[in-house]
Amino acid sequence: MTATETPGAVPANSEVTSEIGRRRVRKEDARLVTGQTNWTDNIRLPGMLHVAFLRSPYAHARINSVDLSAAREAPGVIAAFSGADLASEQGSLPCAWPVTPDIVMPDHPPMATGEVRYVGEIVAGVVARDRYAAADALEAIDVDYDPLPPVLDMEAALAEGSPKVHAAGNKSFEWPFSAGDIEAAFRDAPVVIERTFRQQRLIPSAMEPRAVVCAAVGDEYTMWSATQIPHILRLMLAMVTGIPEQQIRVIAPDVGGGFGSKLQVTAEEVLALLLARRLGKPVKWTESRSEGNMAVHHGRDQIQRIKLAADRDGRLRGLSVDLLADMGAYLMLVTPGVPLLGAFMFNAIYKMDAYSFTCTGVFTTKTPTDAYRGAGRPEATFAIERMMDELANELGMDPLALRERNWIRHEEFPFTTIAGLTYDSGNYEAATAKAREIFRYDELRKEQAERRAAGSPVQLGLGTSTYTEMCGLAPSRILGQLSYGAGGWEHASVRMLPTGKVEVVTGSSAHGQGHETAWSQIVADKLGVPFEDVRVLHGDTQVSPKGMDTYGSRSLTVGGIALVNACDKVVEKARVIAAAMLEVAPEDLEWSPGRWSVRGDPDQGKTIAEIALATFAAHNLPDGVEPSLDSEATYDPDNFSYPHGTHLCAAEVDTETGQVTIRSYVAVDDVGTVVNPLIVDGQVHGGLAQGIGQALYEEAVYDDDGNLVTTTMADYILPTAADLPEFQTARTETPATSNPLGVKGVGEAGTIASTPAVVNAVIDALRPLGVRDVPMPCTPERVWRAIQLARLGRAPDSGDAPSAAPATPPANQAHDAELNPAHGQEEGM
């Protein structure tokens, strides 16, 4: 299904002489397709107890009392706790990103004390012999609450007199950024487009629900957790609980997806540690999906007010962005930083004179938000790519032509953008040309015109998204400038075993990305050893003591380079020992993959395996040379990486039912050098599905009392196989100049690019009907309502009023009242 025939694409295996670039099936798969997996919930330790948590049924309430007496008497119950019981030891969950000096960063006890601020916040816990007994005992806990007013709307939350989520108020921070003379850019601008977009709240929905097991033996604590960040979690557990870091070991066993949702230090992890310590027994907690939808951090949730100024010929003058970002009830690990990652991306691939950005972080009585695939960058890309289509329409230009008018030309790289980032490389012309050709853009435009002329009930829309992203998080220096609490380096070590086999230890922590395979390919090339001879170890702080883990499309661009550097050190160490073995000077040797040989006499040489064995024996090493080839490297990138691409979506929109069907989707991505095309394609496919999910299906919906009503997978609609088209993916390859492999990130690209491509296609289909926006997700109901409102000459709703599920639109012309999106939103799921 993935035959490579497009000119310029990565060559098929027969043409590849190196491991890098080869379509390798994954090493990881053998255990995953046979059920020999080690998910956290599979772990059973002798004497292990089970934890269940009671969660707040109120969005906002004062806790008067928690009566645990009946629960403690229930069969099989070992202990029960309230927040008050743990107050002296539970600390406050960490936020590592205080984005401004005056940020409001409220205390966040893992188990609530005094007040609850979202439905799903933990109020009490039971430890029992098995999970059924623990769940039963929750029923016996009596909590007396005084309900307080919920705070659900960001704009209302900032208004004077709003009920307060925290005593310090509902505004967490305001973060401004500007470059160029924005007033001049807008003054006398011939064209100004102004729009408000709503980035709806999303639930990341990794297929594996969270789980944690914690064992306390003496003063040593071992935690198994379904986490993306074992290293950061270990550090944070030590900082929150005061337990010395060297006494904590964190293991991320097989982890079933994350997408940012497991880039977190959770209440459940901290509480499992405290309960294991108190009881001296191992404890396990596994969440149910319904529990997780309330309690795992959510993503997105922004109101974006965007203004774009341009000349009549389409040249961009200035861009002004005013964001409200919903923090939810508390600041979690990187909550405030997520929208700011978008601050440098609204200008995207375009040149302009001036740019201004302001983000206000707002507290509400909802589940906290934090990183979700793309984290800030999908929101920014959506806004600018939607605006470019709006501007193209205003000017009567083709959307691709408008983009080309403004993008950075390939000969202009490296290019420092208005937001201050230096894009190292790219070729937007090449990616766009290729996408146009595969998509058959001109033919589809012709068909669109025909359908419009015929007044077809099913209209065709073409959506464009020419994205870039900053990924490969991140240069530590820049993170410091942005007030992040840690660096962005990564660590790797390479151990040469006496038999010539290789063990690699990486600080990246894979949970589906295929690091074991890709890292083996890199090592095979760098050391000249067989792919099969490399073993990759990760995800256990005792095995891999140093790392910054996996998120932000950083593993290959940061962790992969650390690995390259460690391999280079191994090769240099081997040179000195090979020279002694061959009785020549080190500078008389030359390296070919896997072997040092004498320059001019290639028959005289030693393989890396022979050198490894001689190093192990250490009988005849030169004076002062240590008997080891093992090497390690910690790499801090100088710059982000900037993958880019052109995505084109053709959507058919049934104007009678509002149903959107994606007819074709072309993604041409430039992710630099490709290590494994199979894995890259897989990342793109999955990213597209998540971005399309935001465009058409997904939304976390709250009712007026602050109850999350999309608590199950029946209510929170994830795309299925039947909902998605067969994607057409292709690549251009402009190597990154910022790292020795030439690689860029790919994990988030599909998600970032696809949401605006799909929504632009929907709007493009409906524009002749007067529709200029449909709030996401573009459900049949919302599309249908937008069409009806446009017919009545009314502006579309901005998306503030959520629509829980696609309702069946009325068959006849409806009354005005029925068209108000505020109506019908509580209708059945």
Among 13, 25, 416, 499, binds another protein (CB under 8 A): 25
Instruction: Indicate whether 828 belongs to the interface with another protein (CB under 8 A).
Output: no
Q: Shortest CA distance to 195 belongs to which of 702, 643, 614, 756?
A: 756
Among 231, 573, 731, 744, binds another protein (CB under 8 A): 731
Q: Shortest CA distance to 525 belongs to which of 496, 564, 577?
A: 564
Q: Which is nearer to another protein, 110 or 260 (CB)?
A: 260
Peptide bond into 209 cis (omega under 30): no
- The least CB distance from residue 227 to another protein, in Å, is 13
Q: Quote the CA–CA distance of 503 and 520 in Å, as a whole number.
A: 10
Q: Which is nearer to another protein, 30 or 217 (CB)?
A: 30
Based on its alpha-carbon atoms, the radius of gyration of the chain, rounded to whole angstroms, reads: 28
- The least CB distance from residue 36 to another protein, in Å, is 7
Q: Quote the CA–CA distance of 819 and 810 in Å, as a whole number.
A: 10
How many residues does the structure list for the chain? 829
Instruction: Indicate whether 3 belongs to the interface with another protein (CB under 8 A).
Output: yes
Q: Which amino acid is present at 204?
A: P
Q: Quote the CA–CA distance of 172 and 636 in Å, as a whole number.
A: 31
Among 718, 769, 801, 829, binds another protein (CB under 8 A): 718
- The least CB distance from residue 407 to another protein, in Å, is 23
| Number of shown-chain residues binding another protein (CB under 8 A) | 70
Instruction: Indicate whether 70 belongs to the interface with another protein (CB under 8 A).
Output: no
Among 305, 501, 685, 767, binds another protein (CB under 8 A): 685
Could you tell me if 659 and 680 are in contact, meaning their C-beta atoms sit under 8 angstroms apart? no
Phi-psi region of 640 (alpha: psi -120 to 50; beta: other; left: phi over 0): beta
Which of positions 291-330 make contact with another protein (CB under 8 A)?
Answer: none
Among 78, 148, 255, 598, binds another protein (CB under 8 A): 255
Instruction: Indicate whether 689 belongs to the interface with another protein (CB under 8 A).
Output: yes
Token pair listed for 794: 């009314």
Instruction: Indicate whether 28 belongs to the interface with another protein (CB under 8 A).
Output: yes
Q: Which is nearer to another protein, 210 or 785 (CB)?
A: 210
Q: Quote the CA–CA distance of 99 and 174 in Å, as a whole number.
A: 9
Instruction: Indicate whether 290 belongs to the interface with another protein (CB under 8 A).
Output: yes
Cα separation values, 44 from 145, 271, 620, Å? 36, 19, 49
Instruction: Mark the segment that binds another protein (CB under 8 A) among 584-592, 612-620, 672-680, 768-776.
Output: 672-680
Q: Is 373 helix (H, G, I), strand (E, B) or coil?
A: coil
Instruction: Provide the mask over 197-236, with x wherever binding to another protein is found by CB under 8 A and - wherever it is not.
Output: --------xxxxx---------------------------
Q: Is 408 helix (H, G, I), strand (E, B) or coil?
A: coil
Instruction: Indicate whether 159 belongs to the interface with another protein (CB under 8 A).
Output: no
Q: Which is nearer to another protein, 224 or 259 (CB)?
A: 259
- The least CB distance from residue 724 to another protein, in Å, is 6
Instruction: Indicate whether 42 belongs to the interface with another protein (CB under 8 A).
Output: yes
Instruction: Indicate whether 9 belongs to the interface with another protein (CB under 8 A).
Output: yes
Q: Which is nearer to another protein, 32 or 168 (CB)?
A: 32
Report H helices in 280-314.
289-295
Name residues whose C-beta falls within 8 Å of residue 161's C-beta, 6 or more positions apart in sequence: none
Instruction: Provide the mask over 438-477, with x wherever binding to another protein is found by CB under 8 A and - wherever it is not.
Output: x---------------------------------------
Q: Which is nearer to another protein, 26 or 108 (CB)?
A: 26
Which of positions 735-754 make contact with another protein (CB under 8 A)?
Answer: 750
Q: Which is nearer to another protein, 584 or 829 (CB)?
A: 829
Q: Which is nearer to another protein, 537 or 678 (CB)?
A: 678
Could you tell me if 384 and 349 are in contact, meaning their C-beta atoms sit under 8 angstroms apart? no
Among 13, 17, 18, 29, binds another protein (CB under 8 A): 29
Instruction: Indicate whether 92 belongs to the interface with another protein (CB under 8 A).
Output: no
Strand 354-363 relative to strand 316-328, pairing: parallel
Instruction: Indicate whether 713 belongs to the interface with another protein (CB under 8 A).
Output: yes
Instruction: Provide the mask over 387-426, with x wherever binding to another protein is found by CB under 8 A and - wherever it is not.
Output: ----------------------------------------
Token pair listed for 140: 């016996």
Instruction: Indicate whether 679 belongs to the interface with another protein (CB under 8 A).
Output: yes
Q: Shortest CA distance to 84 belongs to which of 68, 100, 71?
A: 68
Stated as kind and residue range, the H or E segment containing 695 is helix 677-696
Instruction: Provide the mask over 112-141, with x wherever binding to another protein is found by CB under 8 A and - wherever it is not.
Output: --------------------x---------
Instruction: Indicate whether 37 belongs to the interface with another protein (CB under 8 A).
Output: yes
Contacts 24+ apart (CB under 8 A), 89-94: 89/241, 89/274, 90/240, 90/241, 90/270, 90/271, 90/274, 91/240, 91/241, 91/242, 91/270, 92/240, 93/240, 93/265, 93/266, 93/267, 93/270, 93/330, 93/332, 94/236, 94/239, 94/240, 94/265, 94/333
Peptide bond into 147 cis (omega under 30): no
What is the DSSP code (8-state) at residue 263? S
**Which stretches of 438-520 are assigned E, i.e. beta strand?**
458-468, 490-496, 502-506
Which of positions 488-517 make contact with another protein (CB under 8 A)?
Answer: 511-514
Q: Which amino acid is present at 81?
A: F
SS3 content of the chain, % helix, strand, coil (to 5): 30, 25, 45
Instruction: Indicate whether 618 belongs to the interface with another protein (CB under 8 A).
Output: no
**How many CB atoms neighbour CB 277 within 10 A?**
16
Stated as kind and residue range, the H or E segment containing 180 is none
Strand partners, 706: none
Instruction: Mark the segment that binds another protein (CB under 8 A) among 63-71, 283-291, 585-593, 817-825.
Output: 283-291
User: Which positions lie near another protein, rule CB under 8 A?
Assistant: 1-6, 9-10, 25-26, 28-30, 32-37, 39, 41-42, 132, 205-209, 254-257, 259, 288-290, 438, 511-514, 666, 677-679, 681-683, 685-690, 712-714, 718, 720-722, 724-731, 750
